[in-house]
Amino acid sequence: MGYPLQLYHICAVLLYCGKSCTNEFSYDQIKFRHDKWHYLDFFLHVAIRILHFHERREESEMEFYCGLKGVRFENIEKEIKFGYFISHVSTSDDIQVAKMFRGDQGCILHFHSSMRRALGIFSCDVSWISPFKHEREILFAKSLLNFINDENTHKKTMAWNANVENEDEYTQMILLTWTEYDEHIQQIVRVNEMFNYSIDFNLIYFVLKCNKKNIIHTRLMLHAFEKWRRNGNDKKYKERMKEFVEERCCNYNINLFCMFLSEKKPILNAVDFAKSVTVSDGLPFVEKDRNVLNFLM
């Protein structure tokens, strides 16, 4: 990754992670008192964005947790503006850390792995600089209003949904998922049934997007791809695999499908297309999703 951050970015991250002013800073953020922390807020957000684009988030399958002490939502649809974080959010892949911050009673935000993979939900690993190494901290950036993008673009790239996952008298667990995950999951399960549960969820997701969510066209394209694949093209891909891996194209099936498309449309560069799909756009599904949903079926 090299050294993408400037000194002022590093100072902003260190100040936040060091906890010396985090509580006061976060409290003022929640109360929309932004003027006091203008520079810290700005440089922290920029640092998160820079690291977000440099990190290999496309390989992450981790889920993350954030504990909120004394917080409980009575009407989640009214109390949470879906798709917007009003302050920066510290998370850990260790739920015990979240429980520590929750205290005796409160809420735990459960970040589905799709949240880390989303292009427009900015996050980064700050465990390398945090004094609290045991927390294994992943930091999600405060959401900014973008007056250039329309509402549909925001929902596609930056928005997330929140649902009560489970609760008892002590803890309320809120699941956060990227909207792309929620909007496609039912169709993906339907298509997967047609292929006897044998297709990579991210491949189905990609083909659905290529066909504007038309299930019939998606099924026909996947059948054509599977036929092409069995005709010795797996071997062709393995001969080119290094080209894809060097460009962070980590999904075997997506890479192979991009080769399939490039043969149909020679104007497409298979590696560039796979990189755009995997790294730039983001793939919301991980192996755990497929295992859980196939088990439920």
Q: How far is CA 14 from CA 131, 262, 268, in A?
A: 8, 45, 43
Domain count for the chain: 2
**Domain end position, chosen among 179, 210, 235:** 179
Q: Is the pLDDT of residue 145 over 90?
A: no
212 secondary structure, DSSP code: T
Residue numbers of the domain that contains 155: 57-179
* 240 and 259 Cβ atoms separated by less than 8 Å: yes
**Domain assignment present for 39:** no
Beta bridge partners of 178: 160
In this structure, the answer to whether residues 213 and 268 fall within a common structural domain is yes
**Domain end position, chosen among 179, 206, 238:** 179
In this structure, the answer to whether residues 80 and 135 fall within a common structural domain is yes
Q: Is the pLDDT of residue 278 over 50?
A: yes
Q: How many CB atoms lie within 10 A of CB 185?
A: 18
**Domain assignment present for 190:** no
**Domain assignment present for 7:** no
**Domain end position, chosen among 150, 179, 208:** 179
In this structure, the answer to whether residues 200 and 151 fall within a common structural domain is no
| Ranges 31-35, 63-67, 91-95, 119-123: which has the least confidence | 31-35
Length in residues, the chain: 297
The predicted pLDDT at position 154 comes to 53
3-state SS, residue 269: coil
Token digits of residue 157: 């790239």
In this structure, the answer to whether residues 149 and 235 fall within a common structural domain is no
Amino acid in the structure at residue 5: L
Distance of alpha carbon 90 from alpha carbon 40, whole angstroms: 16
**Domain assignment present for 23:** no
In this structure, the answer to whether residues 157 and 84 fall within a common structural domain is yes
pLDDT-based confidence at 32, cuts 50/70/90? Answer: confident
